[in-house]
Amino acid sequence: MPDLVPLRPQADGAEERLKALVLKGIASAHTRRAYETGLDQFSAWLRTRPPQPFSKELLAEYRASLLELNLSASTINLRLSPLRRLAREMENNNLLDLGTAIERTRGVKQQGKSRCRAALKSRILFRPLKMLHSNRGF
């Protein structure tokens, strides 16, 4: 197997090559930015850990550390998504054999209502059309 598997970010450009592997097929600029941020955050977390191979256990530890930070479920899921794609790309390029197991790393179940939904229900956003189009300076 190539030298990319251990996933030590500081190792001779491996981090940039893995990032490029993940980002190369993403068309949306927003998704690319979110995935790049997620990969950078994972790499920063990984630097604080002893060397260990990229595995489902490593992602479970990362997920647990994100939960300890009391991040929202959507933020945690956003940070795990690029890692699932990384596993898939590594498997497709014969760099990893467990890619499908890593892809099944569970995200965090989202509960409750979003703040946006609550704001949409407020009276301010649902004023009658007469009020919105009146000549009162609104």
Q: How far apart are CA 85 and CA 72, in angstroms?
A: 21
What's the confidence (pLDDT) of residue 69?
93
Query: pLDDT digit string (tens) for 33-48?
Result: 999 999 999 999 999 9
At 42 the pLDDT is 94
Correct CATH for 14-113 of 1.10.150, 1.10.357, 3.90.175, 1.50.10? 1.10.150
pLDDT of 102 higher than 80: no
Task: Enter the tokens of residue 71.
Answer: 């991040």
Average pLDDT for 7-13: 55
More confident: 134 or 64: 64
| Per-residue model confidence (pLDDT) at position 62 | 93
- The residue extents of the domains of the chain are 14-113
Mean pLDDT of 81-109: 72
**Rounded to whole angstroms, how far apart are CA atoms 43 and 99?**
18
Burial (CB < 10 A; 0-12, 13-18, 19+), residue 124, is: exposed
DSSP structure class, residue 11: S
pTM of the model: 0.64
